[in-house]
Each structure stands twice: as C-alpha cells, then as structure tokens.
Structure 1
Amino acid sequence: MNVDYIIVGIGIAGISFCEQLKANGKTFIVFDDASQQSSAVAGGLYNPVVLKRFTSVWKSEEQLNLALPLYAKIEKELNVKLDYKMPVYRRFNSLEEQNDWFATSDKPLLSKYLSTNILKNNNEAIDAPFGFGEVLNTGRIDVKTMIEAYKTDLLEKRILFQEPFEYNVLTTERNIVVYKDIQAKHIVFAEGYGVLKNPYFKNSPLVPAKGELLTIHAPSLKIDFVLKAGVFLIPLNDDLYIVGATYEWKDLSQEISIKAKTEMLSKLKKLIKCDFEVVNQLAGIRPTVKDRRPLVGQNERHKNMYVLNGLGTRGVMIGPYAAKQLYNFIEHNIYLDEEIDIRRFENR
C-alpha cells in the first residue's frame, strides 16, 4: 500500500491533521490503539480568555478562525452535533475583581470577548454575591462524540488500524518511510503523552499531567452557560454537568482517584448550594509543555518523520492551528511559528 502520510494517533491533534490532508487531496492511513485518553476526556471548551488572570489566550482569534469552521465541516460530513455555543460566566470573588474585569475589557485583544455588563446572580443554587463577568464567542466541542464518529468513518473507509504502532518495524528508505507493507512519504506522530515511548521523539520536552473530570446530576441547578470559579461547570443535557478539572504530575496512571474526586467536590460545594449526585468520573493524561505551547516539528535525522503534540488544556482551539502550521511546513517549506517549533528547546 502506498500513501502520502501515516498518522499515529487520532485524538484532537490527529483529527486536525487528517482534515488538513483531506482538504488538500492527500492520501493517508491512521494507527490508533486507544491507549491515550486525554482527548476523549477533554472538557472541550473553547474560550479565548485566561480567566484566572483576565488575559488573552495566545493567538486566540487566529485559532478560533481556523478551529470553528473545521468543526462545522466535520459536523456536516459526519452528521453529528459537536459545537455547542454557550457563554462562559466567571464568578467574581470581590469588588476588586469586578474592577479588574472592567479595566481589562478595554484592552484591544479582549474588548470583543469580555462583556462590560456585570451580571447579577439570580440563581439560588449558585453562591455568587458579586455576580459574574460574561465571556463572549465561547462554547464547547463534544470531543468524545467527534473522536468516536471520526473513527467510525475511518474504519468504514478502511484507513484506520486499531492496533499498537510497532516502532521497531518502521524503517526509512531514500525519501520514504516503510511500515510493514505500507510505504508513505511522511509519518506524523500525534500520539499524546505516548510519544515519550517513541524512539524518534523520546526526548521531547513533554510534561505529562493527569487530569480528572466528574459528571454530576443536578436537577435544581438549571444553568445554560459554562460557570468558572475554582472549577468549571459545563452543562450537558438532562440536568447533567461536567465538573473539572484536576492537575496531577506524580500519579500518571489512567485510573480515577479518590483524591481528585475529593478536590473537585470541595471546590464545587463552595460554588453551588443545591443537591447533586456524582454519576461518572474520568481520567486521562494530558500532554503538556512547560511554556504552554505545542510541540510541532521534524526529527533531526529522519526528515520525513514529524511530531504534532503537546496541545495541553486548550486542544480544541490550538489543534487546527498547529496542524495547519505543520502541513504548510511539510508541503510548502513554510517556516513553523517559532513559538511552537520543537527546536525552540535545543539551546535550553
């Protein structure tokens, strides 16, 4: 079998790169063994504002301009609902935070995203005496549904192999890579924190961070917006809400933990005052980077091997941007944005 690309991994990064290939008429096959769960358990928020500091997310407008049309295209092609438009409400903890919000809303990069209206809390189930600030142009991508639908489509086209990728079988010959009976011009590794076991990118400066989410049933809460205050609350259907998320750097198992559940519930009980029931808990390992930028680039020795990784907590926003950067680098020799180029760590 001859193809243009082999892709290893079909989370947000892998799907984003597949979409670049499809848009440009390139052939590809995908390997994925479902061992990496970070995309599947992602909250899926796209929010252009860092709500802890009231600052703009790096290249947020450019990212959203690429990401939202891409998810709309996937929705249409796969006949699934992925993009749920909803505002994000940031609970204020003091009058000082209200004043900081007003001051920040005048900044050029944030004025289109931060409403200047302070929203009064009229929901008895929420503890918010100082009200909320509203972030505009936000929403949630149903990442789990997207991955499941995307895999189904690839399986029907017979271009998805659901099996571990055997690095020791991969070889290079002239200007191609060879894997078993497959020949490809290029291979892209988009395998999340599993890249640390990849001999071609094992020294990647990736910092795995375990994250956990809860799903609660809260019939009395009745909110149709994302609520951010210590934890975030994301409404689903049928009075269900996602609660998250935690960060853990020592326990890197993909098993759920009592510690994370206790931490999230402690914060949640300071935010809402209604009864609720925990109905699910999920865990996954995020591929994060110290400078909070993706890892994108080329293997030093094997010039047709590439990495697309390190999307972190804002993967639904930055994934399509990073994928386009990598595609243009490979196919058109356009330099990568130096802030995501994996070579930025060479002299550190």
Structure 2
Amino acid sequence: MYDYLVVGLGLAGISFCEVLEKEGKSFKVVSDASQQASQVAGGLYNPVILKRFTLAWKAKGQMELAQPFYAQLEQKLGVQLDYKVPVLRRFASVEEQNLWFEAADKPGLDHFLSTSIVPNQNNALDAPNGFGEVKYTGRIDTGTLVESYAAYLDKKGILERESFDFSALTVADEKVSYKTIQAKQIVFACGYGLQNNPFFNYLPLNGTKGELLTIKAPTYMENRVIKSSVFTIPLGGDLYRVGATYKWKDKTNEPTEASKKELLDKLTTFLQCDFEVVDHVAGIRPTVVDRRPLVGEHPEHKNLYVLNGFGSRGVLIAPYASDQLYQAIEHQKQIDPEMDIQRFTKKYYRD
C-alpha cells in the first residue's frame, strides 16, 4: 500500500510529490495531462502585482521557498528550469512614475522595487517615460518541468498516464482503492479538472482562460521581461512569449482568433519592430472567487484532500501550499485559514 495517491501533475502535483519524496513517503501519480495551465503558463515568478504596484499575497515568504525548491529540481532532473531575468514595468506617464516611487517606500515592496528609473535604450520599444525594475525575478520553464518530471516518475514506475475514473475509486476509513492501487491518502491536484470531481466540485473554482503567443522578433533584441498592457518574456533564439488574456466564459483549451487579435493590438502599442507569430496556446487557470488557493481535507472523508486554485501565480504558490498541506496531514498543523477550504465548506457543502 502506498502512503499517497496523487491525481494531477501540474505545478501543484509536482510540488506535492517533491514534499513526499523529501519526507520518504511512498506515492503513485495518476495524470492524463488534460489540464494545460502549467504547460502554457508564462512561468514568471514576480512578487509584485504590476497593475496596481502592490505586493502579491504572501509573496516574500513564497519567494524564499520557491527559489531553492526549483534549484533542487534542476539538480534532480538535470535540466535548466530557472532563468533569472529582470522584470521591467513600462511607465505610461509621469503619474505612473510617481506612483511607483510611492509604492517603493512601503514596507515589503521596498525590498523588491528599484527606485531608479530605467531609461529606454531599445529602439524597438516605445517607452518615453522609461521603466521601473522589479528585483529578484525570473522565469520557470514550466513546460520543461512538467515533461521532465513525468519522465522522472515514469522511470521510477510510479506514474499512470490516464484519465482518473471516479467510478473506480473506493473510499474507506483507513484507505482508498483505485483500480489495483491502494493508498492511505489521496490528494487531488488536478487544476480546472476539479470541476469533474464529485468530492470537491462544490468548491467555487471558476477557472480563467489564458492565451499566450510566441513571436519571433530578430530586431527586438531584449533580454528582460517587459510589462505593459501585455508582457513579453525572452525565450532565447529571437523568440518571445506574449501574454496574457483573461477570459471567464470560454472554458476550452482551444486558442481563439479574438484573443490573438487582442494580444497583438496591445503588443503593437509599444513594440515597434517586425515580428511573426510562431505559436499560440491556451489553458484554463484554476482561479477562485477570493483569489486564494483551495487546500485542505474533505469535510466527510478524512483521507481525501485537495490542492488547487493557484491561479496565475502557481510558480510561487505551489511549494508553499504543498508544504502546508503535508504538514496538516502528517503533523496536524493548521493550514493558513486564507487558503483552507473550510472557508467555503461551511457555507457550500451539503450532506
């Protein structure tokens, strides 16, 4: 019998598997890779919400956990995942410059916001008011991470590549059984797929569709992330990722012409060089009404758990939330109330 059965292998599933391996727990993973949010994510770790110049939720503590977490994964998997890259926020006006300086004086933000305006020296960019720089940022190659980690689990013989069949799951007091797999606990880390989970679909996971473009722009020659109405992320080889959109009604993984046009219209307000679109992808971010993760124990079945709802900041949140869930299961420590599913269970759950 395994200690854990983990369902899903995006950022949430990988992070939880890492905690289990570090703690010497046995586990099996079931994943069909149907939820593409992790694979198509921009992958930025950036502690600042650049629209409003505010610190993201618990960002400093999450950064302290995340950076060594991905460094250890690079060593284990033998691939580069973490690309240190500055994030520059393009100022649309002098007023925005002033707001930036005000924000940089605030406790917490002062650690991350540079107080020097970065002048624009790139002829391919329209940025007469310059940029503000966020420090200690970077990009995790989430596509390589998911692919490499799946191969790692395959080699160990503990990954089942299939859609999870709830009709094959039996839940008892002391264990769960799924087909021929038996485990003491089961953790559902399946992103927007939570909608199809009969145990946790009462949780208000609404999902937000995001679309990203990859462009080839040989004369752009920019090695920093530029954030304006959309961001551009350098990928190397004259390639840049451009995103992202936020759509609440469309819940498919299919890219749309409307979102492509929206991204290109915004991009061309500040990018002034020739480029071609070479890729266009979409995925559903697992987002929650109060913008906090969904982590915790099922209200009736004490060996069923959920790890979800990371939204667009999964790179930072995943290691933090995974550690919290593990500590709650194994050591009865309290999950941060802001992300504990009890905040919804009391209101929404029906016997």
Fold shared, TM-score > 0.5 on shorter chain: yes
Aligned: 1:61 with 2:60:
yes
Letter in 2 for 1:263: E
Letter in 2 for 1:294: P
Give SS of 2:79's match.
Answer: coil
Deviation by residue 1:98-148 (Cα, 9 ceiling, x = unmatched): 111111111111111000000111111001010000000000000000000
4+ runs deviating over 6 angstroms: none
C-alpha distance in 2 between matches for 1:298 and 1:180? 22
C-alpha distance in 2 between matches for 1:344 and 1:173? 25
Give SS of 1:272's match.
Answer: coil
C-alpha distance in 2 between matches for 1:202 and 1:95? 47
Give SS of 1:347's match.
Answer: helix
What is the number of residues matched between the two proteins?
Answer: 347
Paired position in structure 2 for 1:70? 69
Deviation by residue 1:43-80 (Cα, 9 ceiling, x = unmatched): 00000111011011111111011111111111001100
C-alpha distance in 2 between matches for 1:347 and 1:154? 38
Letter in 1 for 2:146: I
Paired position in structure 2 for 1:170? 169
Deviation by residue 1:226-284 (Cα, 9 ceiling, x = unmatched): 00000000000101000000011111111110000000000000011000000000011
Letter in 2 for 1:154: L
C-alpha distance in 2 between matches for 1:152 and 1:284? 22
Q: Give the alignment of 1:1-348 within 5 angstroms.
A: 2-345=1-344, 346-347=346-347
Give SS of 2:40's match.
Answer: coil
5+ residue gaps, structure 1? none
C-alpha distance in 1 between matches for 2:131 and 2:116? 9
Letter in 2 for 1:230: S
Letter in 2 for 1:9: G
Give SS of 1:134's match.
Answer: strand
Give SS of 2:247's match.
Answer: coil
Deviation by residue 1:196-230 (Cα, 9 ceiling, x = unmatched): 10111111110111110000000111111100000
C-alpha distance in 2 between matches for 1:233 and 1:59? 25
Letter in 2 for 1:333: Q
RMSD of aligned Cα (Å): 0.8
The two structures have a TM-score, normalised by structure 1, of 0.99
C-alpha distance in 2 between matches for 1:310 and 1:127? 36
Letter in 2 for 1:297: G
Give the deviation of 1:347 after TM superposition.
3.3
Deviation by residue 1:143-170 (Cα, 9 ceiling, x = unmatched): 0000000000100111000011111111
CA contact (8 A) 2:297 2:306 kept: yes
C-alpha distance in 2 between matches for 1:310 and 1:240? 30
Letter in 2 for 1:231: V
C-alpha distance in 2 between matches for 1:243 and 1:28? 37
C-alpha distance in 2 between matches for 1:173 and 1:126? 60
5+ residue gaps, structure 2? none
C-alpha distance in 1 between matches for 2:347 and 2:176? 29
C-alpha distance in 1 between matches for 2:317 and 2:237? 30
